[in-house]
Amino acid sequence: MESDSYALHFLSFQPIKGKKMSSKIAKILIFSVLALLLLSGVAAAQEWIVTAAGDTDKVNNDLTNLDSMTLRQAISKASSGDTIVFAENISEVNVIYGTLNISKDLTIGGNNRVVVKRSAASTTQDFTVFTITGNDLVFRQLTIENGYVMNGTGGAILADRANVTFESCVIQRNRADFGGAIYVANGSRIDLVSTSIYKNNATNDGSAIYIKNGTVSLYNAVIEDNNDKCNVIYVEKGQLTLDQSRLLSNNATAKGSPVNAAAGTTVDIRDSTFSNNGGFESGGILTRGTLIIGNSVFDGGKTNGSGGAITVKDGGSVIVNYSLFRNNTATEDGGAIYIDANSNATVTGCTFLNNVAKYGGAFFGRGTFTIDSCTAVNNTATFFGGAIAVWNEAKAILTKNAIAGNTAKANNTARDPAGGGLNISRADAVLTNNVIVGNVDPREIDFGEENSSVRSNGNNLVGVYRGNGRFPISPSDATGITMNEVFVIDGSGLPAVTKATGYTAGYDRVQIYTVELNSSPNNPAASVLGNQPPAPPAPAPEPPKENNTPPPSEPPAKESGRSMVITYIVYAVIAVALMIIIAVGTFAYIRYRKKKEYKFG
């Protein structure tokens, strides 16, 4: 009974006498507990050093052989929150015995640039380089390559319920069935910062990235030269964001496009550049979901289908602001942008230069769309609508656009009003404050219309109109306007274009062009077009131009170069000392209370 009373009183810390002695002992015990908690916190932030370039098939958890630690061993031995770095003499790690599984919070790399690759030996089996499950992981200054999963997912990275950040990394020359470089599943989040995804392949879909379900964000990143028969980036469910990034020379040769997004997904492109990409269905982005583009450049895109830069289908939508579309080509319709039936678009403050398609050299729309404060110069359609074609029950609003110097090469010169600048066929359109002059088709028609409902809110200046309806519609509309009357003409006979301020777009400057008006005070286009579109918000400072591989970021400050063995000896000594303190304090406390009376609290 007395021992029970001792136990209860030991927990209650409520002595009748000897309060001073008891207080000292309690303080010792509390201090010891706090010291242990502090020690455990320090130990959680451990740094492991990879000193061996090879691989181990059986991980030895004994800490005695620290002079020869492989990356696989370091991953196995590390605790959540630890950092794994590489010895200075390690520049390449060959992974031989299967995928590196990670299911804890780690940071790998950062002290020097290291290649981690699936071994190229002929006896090496197929596997993903890193499989990451249910944790937060950071890769720094790593090149991950040669992953190979012929009948699987994620050649370099398979992320499942994980958050993974790549900083100044390169993911190159990997192959899988889905997601040649990266496969994103089950709500995972991938952040690619100053990282390059280069020359990866997929046999089925997503030669660079396959987003099964998750979010991928690129900042100052490069997706380059990923070529196969399928989409380069496929978004099945989730979101893709590109910010100050570049897609360069990627190709989807048999199906899809450089970026393909399914219904219900979101793609957000900011200050970025698409250059010299190609696709079977679109030369840049194909979406059935939501697409938002701002301050970006689409240059040199090519497709065997429609939409040399952007294709919107099956109820998708796109908003494009202050972007440049230049030198894009579609074998079918919409040299730069194609909007299918039941889809919609809003295009504001954009410039279309030198784009080519069968119908709609710059823009082709069957859905519902608004084009506002845009410039279209020197675009070409092999049939109708040198710049813009509005077709088949489309509903269009065209406001304050300059459409000049475009060409339609329709071969039926006797009947069809091709429209060197604008063609509206069997559709509805509302025109306000547009200048459509100096465009060419076989009948010298700027604006051709057929079996459509065209309304005017006035102040539309047109060179030559021909169609089934009538124009001018409003008293303030005018025809017979020549290009020389309203625009400065350059040496090629086209209306001169002048760069606006210029805005950041990844590594380039977005060249927002507007046609330069003649300075005559009687110029009617000056009152129609007015001032230039309002400028977008001031951009962040433009990053420097670099080679294909982005420069490594500054490595994080590294802890002092302590030896792992010394570190553990110190920890062990501290732990033993604390245990002795606790034991002595407890023993003294028990002996003391046997001599005194206590009562319950």
pLDDT at residue number 573: 61
11-15, 194-198, 570-574: which range is least confident on average? 11-15
Question: pLDDT tens-digit profile of 32-68?
Answer: 555 554 544 444 469 999 999 999 875 544 444 556 8
pLDDT at residue number 32: 53
pLDDT interval class at 402 (50, 70, 90)? very high
Q: Strands 356-357 and 238-243, how do they pair?
A: unpaired
Mean pLDDT over 179-184 rounds to: 98
pLDDT interval class at 417 (50, 70, 90)? confident
pLDDT at residue number 357: 98
44-58, 513-527, 577-591: which range is least confident on average? 577-591
pLDDT at residue number 300: 97
Say which residue, 595 or 583, is predicted with more confidence: 583
Say which residue, 247 or 588, is predicted with more confidence: 247
pLDDT at residue number 14: 44
Q: Is the pLDDT reported for residue 430 higher than 60?
A: yes
Q: Mean pLDDT across the chain, nearest whole number?
A: 84
pLDDT interval class at 323 (50, 70, 90)? very high
Instruction: Please give the helix or strand (H or E) that residue 591 lies within, else none.
Output: helix 564-594
Give CA–CA dist 454/444, Å, rounded: 20
Question: pLDDT tens-digit profile of 482-517?
Answer: 999 999 998 888 999 887 544 444 445 577 788 999
- The model's pTM: 0.84
281, 251 Cβ separation under 8 angstroms: no
Q: Is the pLDDT reported for residue 549 higher than 50?
A: no
Question: pLDDT tens-digit profile of 346-381?
Answer: 999 999 999 999 999 999 999 999 999 999 999 999
Mean pLDDT over 418-424 rounds to: 93
Q: Is the pLDDT reported for residue 131 higher than 50?
A: yes
Give CA–CA dist 159/397, Å, rounded: 44
**Sole residue written with tokens 């030559």:** 464
Q: Is the pLDDT reported for residue 233 higher than 50?
A: yes
398, 373 Cβ separation under 8 angstroms: no
Instruction: Please give the helix or strand (H or E) that residue 588 lies within, else none.
Output: helix 564-594
Mean pLDDT over 7-12 rounds to: 38
Count other C-beta atoms under 10 Å from residue 361's C-beta: 38
Give CA–CA dist 586/85, Å, rounded: 42
pLDDT at residue number 511: 73
Q: 147-152: long-range contacts (C-beta < 8 A, 24 or more apart)?
A: 147/118, 147/174, 147/175, 147/176, 148/118, 148/174, 148/175, 148/176, 149/175, 149/176, 149/177, 150/126, 150/175, 150/176, 150/177, 150/203, 151/126, 151/177, 152/126, 152/128, 152/176, 152/177, 152/178
Mean pLDDT over 162-184 rounds to: 98
Give CA–CA dist 307/281, Å, rounded: 8
Say which residue, 229 or 64, is predicted with more confidence: 229
- Furthest CA-CA distance within the chain: 120
Token couple for 491: 């040496």
Q: Strands 227-228 and 251-252, how do they pair?
A: parallel
Q: Is the pLDDT reported for residue 111 higher than 70?
A: yes
Token couple for 569: 């000896």
Count other C-beta atoms under 10 Å from residue 501's C-beta: 12
Give CA–CA dist 239/287, Å, rounded: 12
Give CA–CA dist 240/263, Å, rounded: 13
Instruction: Please give the helix or strand (H or E) that residue 217 lies within, else none.
Output: strand 214-219
Give CA–CA dist 457/455, Å, rounded: 7
Give CA–CA dist 176/190, Å, rounded: 18
pLDDT at residue number 166: 98
Q: Is the pLDDT reported for residue 83 higher than 60?
A: yes
Q: State the DSSP string of 536-563.
A: PPPPPPPPPP--SSPPPPPPPPPPP---
182-186, 254-258, 296-300: which range is least confident on average? 254-258
